[in-house]
Amino acid sequence: MKNKAINILNENWRDGYTVPCKDLYPFQWLWDSGFIAIGYAHFDMDKALQEIKTLLNSQWENGFLPHIVFHKKSDTYFPGESFHQANLHPLANKNYPSTGMTQPPVTGFVLEKILKISKNNNEVLNFIKKNIDSVYKNHHYLYTNRDINNEGLVYIYHNWESGTDNSPIWDDIWATMGAPEINFKRLDTNVVDASERPTNKDYYNYLHIINIAKKYAYNDAAIAKHSPFLIQDPLFNSILIKSNTALINLYKIIGGNTSKIEQLQKWQEKSISSFNKKLYDEELNAYVHYDLRNEKPIRYITSSSFSPLFAGICSNERAKKLAHTIQTKFGSKNLYLCASFDPENERFNPVKYWRGPVWVNLNWMLYYGLKDYGYTSLANKIKSDTIELIEKAGFYEYFDARKTSYKQNTKGCGGYNFSWSAALLIDLINKN
Ligand code: DGY
């Protein structure tokens, strides 16, 4: 299995970065790159470091990191560079065409993890010394431009910024938007069965928000004022908090940098406190998304609801409640852990992208989070379910959680030979 995973990563490697999946995703994606680098770190540290370096090279002058870097032209992906037009923003990177939206800021915790995998290797430490300030600058960008209430919780303005693209949590927002029909040609459904991808109507919403952002030349303040989609996402904010912790630890290892450490600690304190006050739902026993535009919580349980475990945000008492919610709602004996959306909810769809299937990257975060809080057997169950799914159904992008769906030769869903499924499998089967 490990060899197969290594082959997938090597095959998806382009010159200096890795595509998440041939044809379906033919460029460099921010959070994919981070998870992918963790996989490489176990067998090819040069590639791990190059992956991160290429990503950081695409940074904008204001610290922003784009969600896709369009390194090469491709005729298998829409919407590409010419639709996004990120260069409307005056500080966009002149050398790396990209989108004008970001993705969960994984880079900080990825650097710390890579250093750990390398057993504090000097070359890796030197790389971190040279590049850590770019990651700090990215956090600075997020806290200064995306935290409009100055509460330590940053917003996302597009569902693609969450990473959980077509989650049912966005459905009510789409209903308020009245997005116009746009004439365009879907390319993703040439590669993956349409039943496993977002609908055309979903795409009208996605493109409509981009068109609004373009109208304001991707100006953050204008987007905060005008975007119909403005969300405080527990997954995005957990990852930011996890990466804050990593940056603090890494700066301490490097030495000096006192003012940056102090700033990170200030952000961190405020973020954790607001996160616990604002995003926890006592009735659902889970963290939820908050809709800033319509000023209300979005009261659904998703796998993102448990991401605070990964970032060490919750008290032991809340961790116990989260573990209980996972076990009772997501952990019936007929299901693999962990569905991406509440399997008891009518919006659950077991094969449609982020509307229910199991994702390896979320499982990977839950595994480490539960382990850190002492829920070892639940953590190990998530780990063994992940490995079993890949063994049974292949290195796919996502997986039906229902055990009864798996007959002989049943395949996973979405893209095949998916890079982060390979990369994180390598990490999971390594002796942790
Ligand atoms: C897609 O095209 O589905 C990507 O997830 C956007 O980031």
Ligand 1 centroid–CA 254 distance in Å is 36
> pLDDT value at position 408?
86
DSSP sequence for 264-323 = HHHHHHHHHHHHHHHSEETTTTEE-EEETTTTEEE---BGGGGTHHHHT-S-HHHHHHHH
Ligand 1 centroid–CA 130 distance in Å is 31
At residue 432 the predicted structure's pLDDT band, cuts being 50, 70 and 90, is low
At residue 205 the predicted structure's pLDDT band, cuts being 50, 70 and 90, is very high
Task: Please give the share of the chain, as a percent, with pLDDT higher than 70.
Answer: 100
Ligand 1 centroid–CA 24 distance in Å is 9
> pLDDT value at position 120?
86
pLDDT in tens, 100-149: 999 999 999 999 999 999 998 999 999 999 999 999 999 999 999 999 99
Q: Whose CA is nearest to atom 6 of ligand 1?
A: 160
| Catalytic residue IDs | 165, 397
What 3-state class would DSSP assign to 191? helix
Task: Please give the share of the chain, as a percent, with pLDDT higher than 90.
Answer: 97
pLDDT of 258 above 60: yes
Q: Whose CA is nearest to atom 4 of ligand 1?
A: 160
CB of 165 closer than 6 angstroms to any ligand 1 atom: yes
CB of 160 closer than 6 angstroms to any ligand 1 atom: yes
Ligand 1 pocket test, pick from 19, 24, 25 with the greatest ligand atom count within 8 Å of Cβ, gives 25
| Mean pLDDT (whole number) for 49-71 | 98
pLDDT in tens, 286-337: 999 999 999 999 999 999 999 999 999 999 999 999 999 999 999 999 999 9
pLDDT of 428 above 90: yes
The minimum-distance atom of ligand 1 relative to the CA of 25 is 2
pTM summary value: 0.97
Contacts of the segment 36-39: beta carbons below 8 A, 24+ positions apart: 36/9, 36/419, 36/420, 36/423, 37/110, 37/114, 37/423, 38/110, 38/113, 38/114, 38/117, 38/423, 38/424, 38/427, 39/5, 39/9, 39/419, 39/420, 39/422, 39/423, 39/424, 39/425, 39/426, 39/427
Ligand 1 centroid–CA 188 distance in Å is 9
Q: Whose CA is nearest to atom 7 of ligand 1?
A: 160
